[in-house]
Amino acid sequence: MLGAAGRGMGGRIDPGPPVEGNGYAQGGERTLPRTWRESLDLAAKSEFLAAALGPEFLKIFLAIKEQECARFAAEVSELDYAWYLRG
């Protein structure tokens, strides 16, 4: 967050207009990833993150997050139990 804020302020990047009212109810272009997997894929390709964190740290960070994502995906949720195992 600090790296992104520093880049934005240092480069005088326009953040765009403020969101007013319920931002979730407003339409518009989707700019953030929707899934953990999509986030990891984008982070791995990010030149900004490699520069801000350093390529070696980013590699280790992503390896940890990949493992967390895999463990999370392997969990059987309460909804899965309710729909498929208790049904």
Task: Tell me, yes or no, whether 25 lies in a domain.
Answer: no
Task: Tell me, yes or no, whether 20 lies in a domain.
Answer: no
pLDDT of residue 87: 62
Contact 53, 44 (CB under 8 A): no
Residue 42 lies in domain: 33-87
Task: Tell me, yes or no, whether 71 lies in a domain.
Answer: yes
DSSP designation for 83 = I
Coil, strand or helix: which one is 12?
A: coil
Contacts of 50 (CB under 8 A, 6+ apart): 58
Q: How far apart are CA 68 and CA 64, in angstroms?
A: 6
Number of residues in the chain: 87
Task: Tell me, yes or no, whether 80 lies in a domain.
Answer: yes
> Is the model's pLDDT at 47 over the cut of 80?
yes
Q: What are the structure tokens assigned to 45, written together?
A: 């390709």
Count of domains for the chain: 1
Task: Tell me, yes or no, whether 51 lies in a domain.
Answer: yes
Pick 46 or 25 by higher pLDDT.
Answer: 46
